[in-house]
Structure 1
C-alpha cells in the first residue's frame, strides 16, 4: 500500500482526489485542509507521498513544503492552478524539493477527471519510488525566515545517496572535424532543478547550442525558460517560433508540443511542432533526437538524458551512440527518478554515466 496524504483547502478537490486514489485499490489515504493540519499529520500518518495544493489560506503550499522538507522529507507532488502566478510558484516548489507538479483541472472539475486522473496517479506512483532532492541550505534559510518557530524533531532523515556509477571515460573525444555541433537534452520528473544545476555550471562561451525537451505543460515551460535565463550564464529562451541555433544559447521546447531541428536557408533552427500521437510524452525527447539525426552528422551531436520516469529518449539516444555520437546519462545516485537515463544505460546507449554535479564538466570535455 502507498500511504498518501492529500492536502487541499477545497472540500470538492479533496473528494475528487480521494475518489481517484480509492479506486486504485492500493492507496491508504489521509486528508488535510491546510498546511498546519498537514504538518500535524506528518509524524502520525507517515505518508509515502504528499499531494499539496499551492494556494491555501494560512500556511500556503510553499511554506508547508519547506517545513515538510525540513521536518520529515518525503516525495511531494504539487497541484497548481492554470495561471502564470501558479506556474511560477510551482517552479519555486520544484526548486525547494517537490518531485513534480501538475495542473489542477479548471472549470467543471468532474468533467476533467477522466483526463486528469491517469496522469495524477502516474505522477504519484512515480513520486513514491523517487528520491526527493533536498534544497541546499534549506534548514538555515527556514530558521532565519521563521525564527519564531522552534523546529520540531526530525523524525526521518533523507535517504543516503547510493554509490554513484563509475563514469565511462574511454573513447570520448569527438572527431577533430566536428568544429561545431549540437547538444540535445531530455528530462522529465525532477528535471527543472536538475537543469538549473547542470546549465548553471556551463560558461557563457559554451561553443554549441543546446536544445532541451523537458516534459511539462505549456503553462510551465515559458516561466522555466525565463527562470533558467536569469540563473545561467547562457542565454535561455522558450521555442515558440523557429529560432536560429547559435552557440551559447539554450532552447527550451514549449510544453504540450514538440521541439524539433529543421533546416532553413540561413541555417539550422529549433522549431515547435504539434504533438504527435506516436510520442506519448511532450516535448518528446525521442522526436527531438530523431529530427537532429536526420540533419546533423552523429559525431556532431551529444545527447544528455537526465532524471525522469519512463523511457523517452533512451531508444533514440542509443541509436545516436550506435551511429557514432556521444551520450551522457545521469547516474542513479542523483536522479530523482532513474527511469529515462536508466533505460539508456540498460540499452548500452550511454557513453558516460555521471552524477548531476559532473554532467556539465563531462559535456564540456566532449565538445571542447
Structure 2
C-alpha cells in the first residue's frame, strides 16, 4: 500500500469497523481509567476470557481512588485466573501514582504517561488515542501482523527494535480526525480477519494490501521461534490438621506467582527424595501419602508438571515462617494461582 492511499484506506477501514465491531464493554466508555484496565487485562489474554473479569473489576474498583486504596490481596483475588499477576500489581502502583501525583487525572501526553508504573508504549498509545483522541500509535502483535501484510514489511517481529518500523508506519497512516476508531479498527481487523490464518476474502481493505497482491499474506509476519521452555516437575503436599485446616505458604513477592498462597511444594530432582528436599528447604517434617492429582500447567517461560500428594506432619515438626493453616472458608477468600486451584479441585473429588 502506498501512503498516498491513506484517505481511501481509512474510509474503508473505519466504515467496516463502525458496522462490524464487536460490542465489548470497554468500547462503551471513554473513561481513561477503564480503558487502562481493559488494555492491561487484554495483554496475552483472550477477549472472551477478559469480559467477566473486567466487569467484576470495574464494579469492585469503580474509581482510581478505590483501586489505589484497596488491599493487594483483594485486588489479586479479582485477578485470580488471569495470570501474569505482575500486570495487576503494576496497574495498582501506576494508579496510585496518578492519584498521588496527578490529582487523579491520567496524563494526556506520551512522555508523562510513560513515566507511570506499568505503562509501556502500547498501553500509552491505546489510552491516549482511545480515551483522549490523541493520534498516537498502539502497536502490539495484532497490529504488527496487519501492517506487515499491508506494507509487505519483512522485519522480524520477534526482535524488539523491529517495533519501531511498525510504529512509524502507523503514525504515517493513522486517521488524525478519529485516532480512537482507527487504532481499535486495526486491533479488530487483526483479531477477527487478519488472523494468523488470514480470511482475506472478508477483508475490507484487501485492495490496499501489498502482501495479498503478491500472494505473500500466509508468509507474514516473519517471526523467529522462541527458545524451548524449561520443564519442571513440582511435588505439592496437601497437609491437613485434625480440625480440617490446610497448611499453606505464601510465595515471595518478587518472582513467579508472587504473594500467592499454595501448598508446600518442592521441585523434584532425581538425585534427592522430595521429602528430604522439603525438609532441607523449609524444615518441615512430613510423611508422604497417596497421590491425588497430576497435571501440566504452562507459564510463558516454564512448564510445570505438577504432582499432588496427601501428607501429614510428623510430631514436633516446626511450622516455618510464612506458613499458616487455613479453614475451608478462608481458602475461598485468599488469592490462589491456577495450579493451586486445580489441586484444591482434585482434593474435593
Q: Higher helix proportion, which one?
A: 2
TM-score by length of 2: 0.23
Higher RCO (CA < 8 A, seq sep 6+):
2
Q: Which has the larger radius of gyration?
A: 2
Q: Of Structure 1 and Structure 2, which has the larger fraction of its residues in strand? A: 1
